[in-house]
Amino acid sequence: MEYGKLHPGLGPPRHRRSCWSRLHGSAGEEPHILLECDSNVLEPFQKHLKLYKIRRKVDISPCPDLSLWAVIPGEQAGDASSSLPKCAGQAVLLTPDPRAEVMGWRLITKKGANLSEIIPGSEVGDVQDYHRHRYKQGIPEGVKDLPPGVALPLESNLAYMNGISFTKGCYIGQELTARTHHMGVIRKRLLPVSFSAPLPKDGIPEGAEILTESGKPAGKFRAGGGDLGIALLRLAHVNEPLCIDVGGDKVKLSANTPEWWPKSAAK
Please give the pLDDT value at position 27.
Answer: 64
| Domain-wise residue ranges, the chain | 3-125, 153-255
Percent of the chain with pLDDT over 90: 47
pLDDT in tens, 157-173: 999 999 988 887 777 78
Tell me the residue length of the chain: 267
**Is the pLDDT at 209 greater than 60, yes or no?**
yes
Condensed to tens digits (0 to 9), the pLDDT of residues 215-263 reads 999 999 999 999 999 999 999 999 999 999 998 899 999 999 999 999 8
pLDDT mean across residues, the chain: 83
226 vs 11, which has greater pLDDT? 226
- Measure the CA–CA gap between 15 and 154, rounded to whole angstroms: 10
CA 212 to CA 178: how far, in whole Å?
Answer: 31
Domain at 153-255: CATH code = 2.40.30.160
Name which of 80-94, 111-125, 234-248 the model is least confident about. Answer: 80-94
- Condensed to tens digits (0 to 9), the pLDDT of residues 143-200 reads 999 999 899 999 999 999 999 888 877 777 888 888 888 787 899 999 999 999 888 8
DSSP lists the bridge partners of residue 107 as 69, 94
In this predicted structure, what is the pLDDT of residue 2? Answer: 37
Tell me what pLDDT residue 30 has.
72
Q: What is the pTM of this model?
A: 0.82
Q: For 53-78, write each residue's pLDDT tens digit.
A: 888 888 999 999 999 999 987 765 44
